[in-house]
Amino acid sequence: DLQMTQSPSSLSASVGDRVTITCQASLDIGNYLNWYQQKPGKAPKILIYDASNLETGVPSRFSGFGSGKNFTFTISSLQPEDIATYYCQQYDNFPRNTFGQGTKLEI
Amino acid sequence: QVHLVQSGAEVKKPGSSVKISCKASGGTFSNYALCWVRQAPGQGLEWMGGIIPIFATSKYAQKFQDRVTITADESTTTAYMELTSLTFDDTAVYYCARVGIFGVVTGYFQYWGQGTPVTVSS
């Protein structure tokens, strides 16, 4: 069964820091990996789709990289409004849409 | 711009059922899947299933296969999710979300509803 392992589960950083979150799949998923931001009490928001594509309107400080089993999500210079929980999500034709456990980002 | 508006909060007893609606406006309703994702208190996100309205066929996550029914009404551009045999573990916020890829129930969720809290309580 496909497993998504996201790390770390929580992260404390300062404004201006470079922040990286990783997501590892138990099987090769190609580039079928997306990243979301969720603020408390709000619906998730898509940031990166298909591993490295920036959704329209999302600031360029957000980026994604990877393929196969290993993926990274980076905020190049952390801003106060980036405080949120971030999720990776895999998809395939099984059909499955599987989310990682989430990374809570704090300042 | 696509806008998804969900029905209001629900309180249900164990063993009962809940049916939530998701009204879509803007964009093309029929060709893009509407899915349901839930989030238990303090927990992560869990995909339940989805439907492509023009095909009127639904796909479900294995975990919910026996208890969930997702439907769509093209005339009112509204999708529905019904979950039966509720237990306390079904207490969660339920989101509808539209897939950003044409004609499939999997992919990235580009648009989201505001969420519907469902509380299962005796």
Give the pLDDT confidence of A34-66 residue by residue, as tens digits: 999 999 999 999 999 999 999 999 999 999 999
A46 in reach of chain B (CB within 8 A) = yes
**Residue B18 reports pLDDT greater than 80:** yes
What is residue B69's predicted lDDT score, i.e. its pLDDT? 97
Is the per-residue pLDDT at A33 higher than 90?
A: yes
What pLDDT is attached to residue B14? Answer: 97
* Nearest-angstrom CA–CA distance, A39 and A83: 7
Instruction: Give the pLDDT confidence score for residue B1 in this predicted structure.
Output: 87
Answer whether A87's CB lies under 8 Å from A102's CB: yes
In sequence order, the β-bridge partners of residue B60 are: B49
| B72-117 pLDDT per residue, tens | 999 999 999 999 999 999 999 999 999 998 888 889 999 999 999 9
Of B35, B108, B114, the CB nearest to A46: B108
Cα–Cα distance list, B63 to A64, B18, B49, B120 (Å):
30, 17, 10, 18
A2, A33, A97, A99: best mutation site toward chain B, by most B Cβ within 10 Å?
A97
Q: Which two tokens stand for residue B93?
A: 């916020």
Interface check A7 vs B, CB under 8 A: no
Using an 8 Å CB-CB cutoff, list chain B residues near A44: 45, 95, 97, 109, 112
Residue A24 has a pLDDT of 96
Alpha-carbon distance A83 to B15, whole Å?
A: 38
B110 Cβ under 8 Å from any chain A Cβ: yes
- Cis peptide preceding B53, ω within 30 of 0: no
| A15: confidence class by pLDDT, cuts 50, 70, 90 | very high
